[in-house]
Structure formats: structure tokens, C-alpha cells
């Protein structure tokens, strides 16, 4: 089984992002960048499949500007076999990313694609589902458990009321949720080794995919801020305030 | 312009998040169709027909739609898309699973989790865990949108009188097989609908200690929620998670216990009407947005709160 994992370079989750001066976009010029946390979970799952012998090859792919190869290298250091960078300076929307991934999947005949369920920058939660649609494949989204048995995969998914278990024949798409696994820390020797692993660069044009945008970001702004309230001394005062001042109990 | 809303339901009841999506739809157009795709779900269609603002109910009642599998429902929605300018669904787990598949099949972009409608093609949505609100315009002729339910008032569930039209259904495509649902049993109100939510974080320390929240929640008729840290630590199941990657709630009263207030958690609860924070760290960021804060040991404060509420119930 050949596994592809998509990894996105995003502003680190500890950075508080703000609009830029003219409110046309966010200000992230010097922000610390990291691999999207859900994608780390997706990489970890693929590496474990490799280690368990269910995956024969595990490939990491990122899409975007040249610096995105950093997160591909991180994935290689975690244990992925090789990397692909689809390089462009254009802003890529989830639908475009799905189209580019579909082109790669068709070129290389992957059996399973694992993606993070959501990127923590645009919070779209779309790409995996869109990729499954474009390929006509089944989708196991928001996965908390994945079990591969020959050419079938059983996926337990997080739902609003608990969990749901699905089973489908490969090829298919899985998107990772928080509880799927705990990603490993990358060890220094593996970072060195990762530098020697192959990383192919390709452009959207070479994949014959139209990357024009469907959405325009008109403006970005800070949300209305909530101001802090007061500290109360004890439970008695709190209940009194909730009852007589806020009138919510 | 006609909007098609795809209903969130469980084959017996219409989920309240659908009512919020209907309100969003009525802000776009007076012509709002509501699709009920499910199995043995005629009772949902009858309830849907009574919702104010719904012009027509489309009922797709077939075994293939029983478990809301995106593989089966997406082609149905694509087939019904013609004649509509907007496809809306609440941003529930089902909505998030289904709508991107629909959008890709139609070769249009999706706008996720919108919180306001500026015009028929321009929407507001939070990005970066709600640190920034983006105004996004769609250039597609058909807009596929998921709606944050807490950002729109629910439509009135009674007073409407829409016609119910059966639509053509399909067989199970066989791409994906449902195995089972494991539903978390709870006698408490739905987390996303509750008027009071009591949430616990890493400060609770263990799954056992989460029981301490139960007593308080019992007294308030509250739902129980959790921070991502508490879910990661294995204290509670993921369906209780409130935040950027979990559920978004906006109750009348939100009590955060042992939650430091990471931006990712605030993203899921900062629209609550009144926020209470209990934390031993007086510098915890949660206090910056809390209306009422108590600095102290939650293991002392929780029992005291429960006792105090008992007293207030008995007040003259």
C-alpha cells in the first residue's frame, strides 16, 4: 500500500495573528511557522503504517512557496520515505489543493491519502473531502482510529454525539482528528538523515492544474474584543452576582 | 435566487442547528428550500414544514441516506443543486463532512463556518482560531456555505406551512459501509444547545475528577464541556471538546473550571453571554475575558459552589 500525506506550513499555533495595517490581509511576515498540528498526526499515522508493514511507501507532499519544503523535511525526519513540493507563490484555495493532490495521486497511484482534518490558519476543513470527491473515493474524516486490513480500512470517526465506525475498500481518503495518535518528537540524527531523502519539486503547470481563485479576501479585521470583568472572593459572592447582577441562574 | 438548506437531523428530529441555518438562508432570499435526506424520516419532514421561512421541503427518504454518508448524500445534493444559488448547511460534524464533497463535485469553492452575511456573495468567517474575521467574496455562481449555528438566531420552529415534495432517491453507491455508531449516552442537554455549560480543563487532573463537574452541572441543568487539553489527556471524549477544532458554543452562562484560556479554547466559547472562570493561576488568560473570576483551588471552590446553589434554590 502506497500512502500519501499532505502537510501544510502554517503560522505556529502559539502565535497570535493580527490584521495588517490596512486590513487587507493578516500580518505574518516574521511569524514562526510550523507544520499544521493535524498534519503531524497524519504523518505519524503513515509512519506507523510503514513500521507495521502495512504501508510499502509513505510520501509527504506540501503545496505552496519554496519555504514549504521545511515541513516536508520535518515529515521526512519523522520517518516518511520521500517528499514532493508543488511549488507556487500564488494563494492556494482548498479546492485547488485538492485538484493538485488528485493530479499527484493519479500520476503515482497511491492507495491511501491521509490529511489533517483542518488547517489552523484558514480553518476551512475541506481539502480531504474535496480530494475524495474529485477521485470518486470514499472518505473517513475526523478519524480517531484507523485499522488497515489488506485492502480494506476501518475508520472510527469523531462525531457530534460520540463516534461512528465506517469500513471501505482502498483506495480512500482519511483525515486525522486529535485522538488518532500522538506524534513523535523528531530526533536530531533523523533531521540529518532527512536531508538526504529525495524531495521532488514540481509546478502546478506541470501538473496541468488551473490554480485561479474562486474566492476573494476583501478585508480582515479583529473581532470585537470582550473586556474582562471582575474577580469575586468566593462561591457565595459568585452565586449572588450570577443571580442578582447577571441574572443567568 | 433560491437557497437550499441541507438539514441536520437524526431521522426522528430536526437538529436546532438547522434552524440557525434557515435564518441565515432567509437573510439571502425569501425562497428557502430545505432538504431532509435520511431514512424513515417523514417525521423530520413534517417538523421541517412547520418552520417559519421554509418555502418547500424536499424529502429524500431512502436507506442509502440513513447514516448521512457523504458518498451517498453528496450526489443527491449535487443533483438538487440546479435551480439554487446557495447551498447551506450548519457547520456540524455532518455538515463539515458533506459540504466540501458537494462543492468539489460542483467545481466551486466552499465558505466554511460563516458568522454573518454581508451580501448574497460576501460573507464573514473567522480564521486563525477567531483571532481574525475575514470578509470573503465568492466568485462562483453557486455558493456552497457552512453556517456557524451560534452566530444566527434559530428560526421559529412553528408557524410555517411548507409543502413537502418527495424527491427521487438513489441506491447505496457501495463506496463506504457503515459499521456502527457509538453515541455517548447522556441525560444532559446537547452541548451546543444548552443554556448553561460547565467546562473542565487540564486543571481537573483526571477523568475521575471530572465527576466533580457533574454535581455542579446537575444543579444548573448544564451540559458538560472540555478544553482540548482535557481531551488530549484522555479525561473525556472528544465530543465534549469546545474550541477551534471542537464545538462552538454560546450559552447564557459558561463556567470554565481549570481552563487556562488558550486562544484555541476561547475560539469556541467567547460568544457566551456570561463567562465565569475558576483557576488557581491569577494570571491565566481566561480571566481577561471572564465576567466573573475566582482565583483559587477548584477542588475547594466546586463543592462550595454546589452548596451555595443549593442554598439559593431554597431562598424565599
Q: What is the CA radius of gyration of chain A?
A: 21
Cis? peptide before A171, omega within 30° of 0: yes
Q: Using an 8 Å Cβ cutoff, are B205 and B280 in contact?
A: no
Spatial separation of the C-alpha atoms in residues B193 and B198, rounded to whole Å: 13
Contact B247 A235 (CB under 8 A): no
Stretch 76-95 of chain A: residues touching chain B, C-beta under 8 Å: 93-95
* Per-residue pLDDT tens over the stretch B171-225: 999 999 999 999 988 899 999 999 999 999 999 999 999 999 999 999 999 999 9
Q: Which of B17, B68, B94, B131 to mutate to test the interface with A (most CBs of A within 10 A)?
A: B131
Closest by CA position to B176, among listed B44, B47, B72, B63: B72
Stretch 71-110 of chain B: residues touching chain A, C-beta under 8 Å: 71, 74, 92-94, 96-105, 107-110
Neighbour count for residue A180 (Cβ, 10 Å)? 26
Contact B252 A161 (CB under 8 A): no
* Per-residue pLDDT tens over the stretch B248-289: 999 999 999 999 999 999 999 999 999 999 999 999 999 999
Closest by CA position to B113, among listed B272, B246, B251: B246
Closest by CA position to B172, among listed A138, A74, A203, A170: A138
> Which residue of chain A is at minimal alpha-carbon distance from B237?
A162
How much of chain A exceeds pLDDT 90, in percent? 98
Mean pLDDT on B69-83 = 98
DSSP output for A91-153: PPPHHHHHHHHHHHHHHHT-SEEEEES--TTT----HHHHHHHHHT--EEEEEEEEEEETTEE
Spatial separation of the C-alpha atoms in residues A15 and B131, rounded to whole Å: 10
Spatial separation of the C-alpha atoms in residues B101 and B173, rounded to whole Å: 15
Q: CA A164, A170, A171, A174 torsion: positive or negative?
A: positive
Neighbour count for residue B190 (Cβ, 10 Å)? 15
On whether any CB of chain A is under 8 Å from the CB of B252, the answer is yes
Q: Using an 8 Å Cβ cutoff, are A107 and A119 in contact?
A: no
Mean pLDDT on B13-26 = 98
Residue B314, pLDDT > 60, answer no
CB-based contacts of A149, cutoff 8 Å, min separation 6: none
SS (H, E, C) B80-133: HHCCCCEEEEECCHHHHHHHHHHHHHCCCCEEEEECEEEECCEEEEEEHHHCEE
Of B244, B291, B292, the CB nearest to A120: B244
Residue B312, pLDDT > 90, answer no
Mean pLDDT on B116-140 = 97
* Per-residue pLDDT tens over the stretch A73-90: 999 999 999 999 999 999
Of A120, A162, A167, the CB nearest to B237: A162
Secondary structure element (H or E) that encloses residue B137, with its range: strand B132-138
On whether any CB of chain B is under 8 Å from the CB of A199, the answer is no
Look up residue A236 and give its three cell numbers: 457565595
Of A17, A164, A167, the CB nearest to B131: A17
Q: What is the pLDDT of residue B316?
A: 43
This complex has an ipTM of 0.97
* Per-residue pLDDT tens over the stretch A158-209: 999 999 999 999 999 999 999 999 999 999 999 999 999 999 999 999 999 9
Amino acid at each position: 500500500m502506497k500512502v500519501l500525506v499532505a502537510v501544510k506550513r502554517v503560522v505556529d499555533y502559539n502565535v497570535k495573528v493580527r490584521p495588517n495595517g490596512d486590513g487587507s490581509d493578516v500580518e505574518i511576515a516574521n511569524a514562526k511557522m510550523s507544520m499544521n498540528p493535524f498534519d503531524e498526526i497524519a504523518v505519524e499515522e503513515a509512519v506507523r503504517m510503514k513500521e507495521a508493514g502495512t504501508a510499502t511507501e509513505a510520501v509527504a507532499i506540501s503545496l505552496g512557496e519554496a519555504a514549504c519544503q521545511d515541513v516536508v523535511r520535518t515529515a521526512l525526519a519523522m520517518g516518511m520515505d520521500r517528499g514532493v513540493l508543488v511549488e507556487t507563490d500564488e494563494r492556494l484555495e482548498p479546492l485547488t489543493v485538492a485538484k493538485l493532490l488528485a493530479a499527484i495521486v493519479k500520476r503515482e497511484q497511491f492507495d491511501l491519502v491521509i490529511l489533517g482534518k483542518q488547517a489552523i490558519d484558514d480553518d476551512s476543513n475541506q481539502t480531504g473531502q474535496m480530494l475524495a470527491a474529485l477521485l470518486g473515493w470514499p472518505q473517513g474524516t475526523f478519524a480517531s482510529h484507523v485499522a488497515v486490513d489488506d485492502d480494506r480500512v476501518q475508520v472510527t470517526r469523531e462525531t457530534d454525539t460520540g463516534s461512528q465506525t465506517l469500513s471501505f475498500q482502498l483506495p480512500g481518503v482519511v483525515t486525522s482528528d486529535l485522538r488518532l495518535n500522538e506524534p513523535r518528537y523528531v530526533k536530531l540524527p533523523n533531521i540529518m538523515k532527512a536531508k538526504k531523502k529525495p524531495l521532488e519539486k514540481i509546478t502546478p503547470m506541470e501538473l496541468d492544474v488551473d490554480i485561479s481563485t474562486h474566492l476573494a479576501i476583501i478585508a480582515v479585521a479583529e473581532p470585537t474584543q470582550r473586556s474582562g470583568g471582575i474577580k469575586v472572593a468566593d462561591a457565595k459572592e459568585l452565586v449572588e452576582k450570577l443571580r442578582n447582577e447577571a441574572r443567568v441562574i | 435566487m433560491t437557497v437550499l438548506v441541507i438539514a441536520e437531523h437524526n431521522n426522528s428530529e430536526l437538529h436546532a442547528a438547522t434552524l440557525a441555518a434557515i435564518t441565515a438562508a432567509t437573510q439571502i432570499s425569501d425562497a428557502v428550500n430545505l432538504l431532509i435526506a435520511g431514512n424513515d424520516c417523514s417525521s423530520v419532514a413534517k417538523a421541517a414544514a412547520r418552520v417559519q421561512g421554509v418555502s418547500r421541503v424536499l424529502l429524500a427518504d431512502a436507506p442509502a441516506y440513513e447514516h448521512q454518508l457523504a458518498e451517498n448524500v453528496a450526489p443527491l445534493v449535487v443533483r438538487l443543486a440546479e435551480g439554487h444559488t446557495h447551498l447551506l448547511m450548519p457547520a456540524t460534524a455532518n455538515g463539515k463532512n458533506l459540504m466540501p464533497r458537494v462543492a468539489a463535485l460542483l467545481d466551486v469553492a466552499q465558505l466554511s463556518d460563516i458568522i454573518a452575511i454581508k451580501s448574497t456573495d460576501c460573507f464573514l468567517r473567522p480564521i486563525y482560531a477567531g483571532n481574525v474575521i475575514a470578509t470573503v467574496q465568492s466568485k462562483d455562481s453557486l455558493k456552497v456555505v457552512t453556517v456557524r449555528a451560534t452566530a444566527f438566531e434559530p428560526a421559529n420552529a412553528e408557524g410555517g406551512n411548507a409543502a413537502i415534495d418527495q424527491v427521487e432517491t438513489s441506491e447505496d453507491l457501495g463506496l463506504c459501509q457503515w459499521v456502527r455508531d457509538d453515541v455517548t449516552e447522556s441525560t444532559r442537554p446537547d452541548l451546543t444547545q444548552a443554556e448553561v455549560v460547565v467546562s473542565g480543563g487540564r486543571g481537573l487532573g483526571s477523568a475521575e475528577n471530572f465527576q466533580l463537574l457533574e454535581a455542579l452541572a446537575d444543579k444548573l441543568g448544564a451540559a458538560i464541556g472540555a478544553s482540548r487539553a482535557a481531551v488530549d489527556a484522555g479525561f473525556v471524549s472528544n465530543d465534549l471538546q469546545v474550541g477551534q477544532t471542537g464545538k462552538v458554543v454560546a450559552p447564557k452562562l459558561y463556567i470554565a473550571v481549570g481552563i487556562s484560556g488558550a486562544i484555541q479554547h476561547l475560539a469556541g466559547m467567547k460568544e457566551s453571554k456570561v463567562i465565569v472562570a475558576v483557576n488557581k493561576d491569577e494570571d491565566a488568560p481566561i480571566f481577561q475575558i471572564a465576567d466573573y473570576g475566582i482565583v483559587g483551588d477548584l477542588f475547594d471552590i466546586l463543592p462550595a459552589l454546589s452548596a451555595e446553589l443549593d442554598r439559593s434554590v431554597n431562598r424565599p
